[in-house]
Amino acid sequence: MKFEAEVNALQRTPMFQGVDPSRLRLLAFMGEDRTFKDGEMVVRQGDSSDSAYLILSGKADVIVEFGGRASTVAQLGESEVFGEMAMLCETPRTATVQARGELRTLLFEREGMLRLLREFPEMAIEMSRSLAQRLERTTVELARLRAQAAAPAAPTDGG
C-alpha cells in the first residue's frame, strides 16, 4: 500500500485516530515532504500561517517568545502534528518550531485540507472532537494554574 508510513504516523496522532485509513491515504498524498536540518526554523512565531506539519521522524523544539525572552516550552516527536490550529483559524503562529537534529515532516496546505474536510465531513467531526478534547485539557490546566496563582502561599507549607 502506498503512503504506509505516513498513514501509520497519521493514525497515531489523536486528531486523526478515528479517521478511515483510505481518507488518511488521500491526506498523505496531498501532503508535501519537508525536511529540516538541525537548528532550522520550521515556523516562526508571529508569521502568517497557511500550513500544518506532521513529524515523520526526528524532534523539534517549541519556543515561545514573550517579553523579549525566548523559552523552550515543549518538545515534539514522531507522529505529532503542529501548526494545525493557526492553519485552520488563519491566525499568526503562536510559537516558533525549530528542528532539533534532522527533522522529516509532511506539510499540509490549508487549501487542500479545507477541501478534504468539505469532501469528508466525518473527518471534520473527528478532528473537532480531538480539538475539543485538547481545549478541555487546556481549560482544566488553566483553571489549575489560576487557582495556584490566586493562592500563592500554598497551605501545604504550613502543614
Partner 1 sequence: MAEKMTRFVWRHSARDQLVLLFFTLLTFPIIWITLELPKTIINEAISGTEFPQEFFGVPLEQTQYLIALCFAYLLAISVNNGVKYAQNVQRGILGERMLRRMRFDLYRRVMGRPLSRLKGTSPGELVQMISAELAPIGDFVGAIISTPVSQGGSFLVYLAFIIVQNPLIGAAALCLYPVQAWLVPKLQARVIAMIRVRLANIRAMAREIDESIDGATEIRALRARRWHMAIVSRQLYDNYVIRRRIFLLKNLIKFVNNVANHLTPFFIFLIGGWFVIHGQLDVGALTAVLIAYKDLAAPWKELLRFYQDYSDMNARYNSVMENFAEDGEPAPLLDSAPVGPHALALHGAPVDGLSGPVDAHAPMGATTSVVGEDALARSSLLQALSGLVDGHSGDHWTAGTPILYRTAAYVPADPRIFAGSMRDNLVHGLLFRPVAPGDDPEHGARRREAEMTGAPADDIADEWIDPVEAGYADAEAVEARIQRLVQVLGLEDDLYAIGLMSRFDPEQAPALAARLVDLRRAIAGSEELGEMREDFIDHWQADRYNPNASVGENLFFALPLDPELRWSDFAEDRAVLRALDEAGVRQMMVEIGLDLCETLLSLFEGVAADSDLFKRYGLFPRSETATIEGILRLGRQRGADKLNRAAQARMIAIAFGYSSTRYRLGVLRGTERVHVLLDARPKLREFAARDPRFAPFDPDAFHPAFTMAENIFFGPVKLERRDSWAPFRDRVDALVAELGLRELILRAGLAQPLGGGGASLNAMQRRRMGLARALMKNPGALVLDGIAAGEAEADAALRALLRQELNGGALIYGTDREAAAQAADHVIRIDRQGRVTQEDGAGEDPAAVDGARDGGR
Out of 30, 85, 88, 131, name the contact with partner 1 by CB under 8 A: 30
Closer to partner 1 at the Cβ: 15 or 43? 43
**Residue 44 cell numbers, joined:** 516562526
Give 156's DSSP letter: T
The contacts of residue 46 (CB under 8 Å, 6+ apart) are 92, 93
Residues 88-147 touching partner 1, rule: CB under 8 A, are 107, 111-112, 115-116, 119
Cβ(34)–Cβ(57) under 8 Å?
no
Count each helix (H run) and each strand (E run) in the chain, helices first. Answer: 5, 6
Least distance CB 12 / partner 1 (angstroms)? 20
Q: Containing H/E element for 32?
A: strand 32-36
- DSSP helix/strand/coil, 9: helix
Give Cα 151 distance to the centre of its chain: 32
Terminal Cα-to-Cα distance of the chain (whole angstroms): 61
18 sits near partner 1 (criterion: CB under 8 A): no
2 sits near partner 1 (criterion: CB under 8 A): yes
Q: How many residues bind partner 1 (CB under 8 A)?
A: 21
Lay out the site mask for partner 1 across 32-71 (x = CB under 8 A, - = otherwise).
xxxxxx--x-x-----------------------------
Closer to partner 1 at the Cβ: 33 or 65? 33
Hey, CA dihedral for 144, 146, 149, 154, is it positive or negative?
negative
Closer to partner 1 at the Cβ: 107 or 131? 107
Closer to partner 1 at the Cβ: 101 or 135? 101
Closer to partner 1 at the Cβ: 14 or 34? 34
Residues making contact with partner 1 (CB under 8 A): 2-3, 22, 25-26, 29-30, 32-37, 40, 42, 107, 111-112, 115-116, 119
